[in-house]
Amino acid sequence: MSDAPELVHLTIADQVATITLDSPHNRNALSKQLVGELAAHLTTADADADARVIVIRSADRVFCSGADLGEAAAGGMEQGAFALVALQRQIATASKPVVVRVAGPVRAGGLGIVGAADIVLAAESVTFALTEVRLALAPAAISVSLLPRLTDRAAADTFLTGRTFDAAEAASIGFITRAVADDDLDAAIDALVGEICKGYPQGLRETKKLLNHDLVARIDALGPSVARQSADLFGSDEAKAAMTAFLTKKK
């Protein structure tokens, strides 16, 4: 057993399983520990008969800063890339609807959680960016869930520029379900899960299968190749140099 503090928490109450990302030291970066704990809590929540919907949220201002570049620079991302593909599949195939509450910035790999979720609500002040190209990388592993959500033009714009865009634009191009006023986010989430909880478990499960059939098939078909591409890119000299420069600049 590890003595490291838990980075992801699970609570279940009133038919809602809430999974909270709580790794403020690296802005909820997708470290091996965080991804592993998130996957484990998803399994527990999905198996709990008292839960009818799963909500993923962050404890702090940032939802997710993307890959843990410290881990990536030190030891590569082969395990991490395959784990991220598996996490997206787990979200898409969960028997219960997965709702993501976004109250703070989302960058790069963190958008894989957003892409795989069934419904995503974000505060209007939230910003998003696929910054991989600026680190000699590509959003390969998360492309399995993101590309089906976007038009080709929107994908090219956001993937190739690495630019920051707001929640209103994210909703308009399909990254998220809708943007709501910051002060209304929690009320909107409560109203949404309240409506979902009116559904019967069988109805929710089978409807989600219909909705995600093509997405799951895409993950199964392309997951291994995009995970390998991602791992190879993280291990390249160009990306290592870019990540080292970025981490040095942050210090």
For 203-243, the pLDDT digits (tens) are 999 999 999 999 999 999 999 999 999 999 999 999 999 99
Whether the pLDDT of residue 1 is over 50: the answer is no
CB 103, CB 128: distance < 8 Å: no
Tell me: the pLDDT tens digits for 13-56? 999 999 999 999 999 999 999 999 999 999 999 999 999 999 99
- Looking at the chain, the whole-number percentage of residues with pLDDT higher than 70 is 98
pLDDT confidence tier of residue 76, bands split at 50, 70 and 90 = low
Say if 88 falls within a structural domain.
Answer: yes
Stretch among 68-82, 102-116, 201-215 having the lowest mean pLDDT: 68-82
Model pLDDT, residue 229: 97
What average pLDDT score do residues 180-195 get? Answer: 98
Q: Is position 250 within any domain?
A: no
**Against a cut of 0.75, is the pTM above it?**
yes
% of the chain at pLDDT higher than 90: 91
* Residue 20 covered by a domain: yes
- Cβ(90)–Cβ(45) below 8 Å: no
pLDDT band at 202 (very low <50, low <70, confident <90, very high): very high
Whether 230 is in a domain gets the answer no
Residue 182 carries which side chain, given as an amino acid letter?
Answer: D
Structural domain total, the chain: 1
Whether the per-residue pLDDT at 178 is higher than 60: the answer is: yes
Domain that holds residue 16: 8-186
Question: Is residue 60 situated within a structural domain?
Answer: yes
For residue 111, pLDDT over 80 is answered with: yes
Confidence of residue 7 (pLDDT cuts 50, 70, 90): very high
Rounded mean pLDDT, 98-115: 98
pLDDT-wise least confident of 14-28, 61-75, 88-102, 130-144? 61-75
Q: How confident is the model at residue 2 (pLDDT cuts 50, 70, 90)?
A: low
Is residue 201, in this structure, part of any structural domain at all? Answer: no
**CATH number for position 87:** 3.90.226.10
Please check whether residue 248 lies inside any domain of the structure. no
Please give the pLDDT value at position 247: 87
Residue 68 located in a structural domain: yes
* pLDDT of 75 higher than 90: no
